[in-house]
Amino acid sequence: GSPPPITPIRAAPRDEFSKGNEWRLYDYITRHFIASLSGDVKYTEHKLVFDISGEEFVFVFHAVEDRGFLFATPWRAKDLRLEELDWEMPDLAAGTHLDIEEFWVETETTSPPDYLTEAELVSRMDAQGIGTDASIPTHIQNIVDRHYVVVCGPGEDGKRGEIIQKGGKKGRKGKGKGKGKGKEGKGKDDKPASRHMVPSPMGLSFCAAFEELDSELSRPPIR
C-alpha cells in the first residue's frame, strides 16, 4: 500500500534548525498538516452587471467570511482565484442608476501558459488514477531519464526556461563551481522558483507515433 503521510511529530522553533532549507521544509509540512485539519474556505461571490448604452459590463468580486485552511496556507488563495476588494462596495439594488465619472480603453494581448509544473503533473496523474503516491515520482523520473521530457525553470511567452540539472539548480554558462562566492556561484538565488516539465522532440515524436497508430494509446485510460 501507500506509505503514511508525512506529518510533524512535535513543535520546533526556528533556532533548532541549522540550515534554512530544513526550516522551510518543516514549515511547509507543518502548515500543510494544520491546513488538512482546518475548515473549508467560505466566501460569497458577488456579480454586478452594468448596462452602458446597451453594452453589458460585468464586475465580479468575492467576500471571504471564513479563511479556513488559508490561515495556514495563504499561498493557496491564488488557486481559488479569489478577487477580494481592498475597499468597501456600496449596497446596490437592481435598477440603480449610476453616473459615469471617467472611462478609458486598455489594449492587452494574451500570452500562452507556461509548461506544466511538476506539482501540476502530479495532481493530474492522481486525478486520472495514474500511479500511486509512492510510484508517481518514479514514473516522472523515468520519462526524464529516458529524455522524453526535460525539467526547466519558469519560462516566458511560451518559451521554456533554463534546463534544471540534477541536484535542482539551473544550468549556467560559466564553468565556476563556487558556492555563493565569486562571479559564477549564485548560492541560494541559483535555485529555480518552479520546476516545469517540457516535452523533448523525441517525446513529442513518440507521442505523435502513438496518435498515428491508435489515438487511444496516448489517452489516460490506456496505460
Whether the predicted pLDDT of 142 surpasses 80 = yes
Whether the predicted pLDDT of 166 surpasses 50 = yes
Confirm if 73 and 31 have CB atoms less than 8 A apart. yes
Average pLDDT over residues 188-212: 84
Q: Determine the distance from the C-alpha atom of residue 165 to the mean position of all C-alpha atoms in its chain, rounded to a whole number.
A: 21
Distance CA 36, CA 127 (A): 19
Q: What dihedral angle (degrees, nearest 10) is formed by the CA atoms of 77, 82, 88, 93?
A: -150
Whether the predicted pLDDT of 182 surpasses 60 = no
pLDDT of residue 157: 79
pLDDT by residue (tens digit) across 101-141? 888 889 988 888 889 999 899 989 988 888 888 899 999 99
Average pLDDT over residues 161-175: 65
pLDDT by residue (tens digit) across 10-44? 899 888 988 778 998 999 999 999 999 999 999 99
Percent of the chain at pLDDT > 90 equals 39
Distance CA 125, CA 138 (A): 12
pLDDT of residue 205: 94
Average pLDDT over residues 142-146: 94
- DSSP β-ladder status, 149-152 and 196-199: antiparallel
- For residue 167, the tally of other CB atoms under 10 A from its CB is 6
Q: Of 67-71, 132-136, 152-156, 165-169, give the lowest mean pLDDT range.
A: 165-169
Q: Which residues of 103-135 are buried (b: 16+ CB within 10 A; e: fewer)?
A: eeeeeeeeeeebbbbbeebbeebeeeebbeeee
CA angle 135, 136, 140 (to 5 degrees): 120
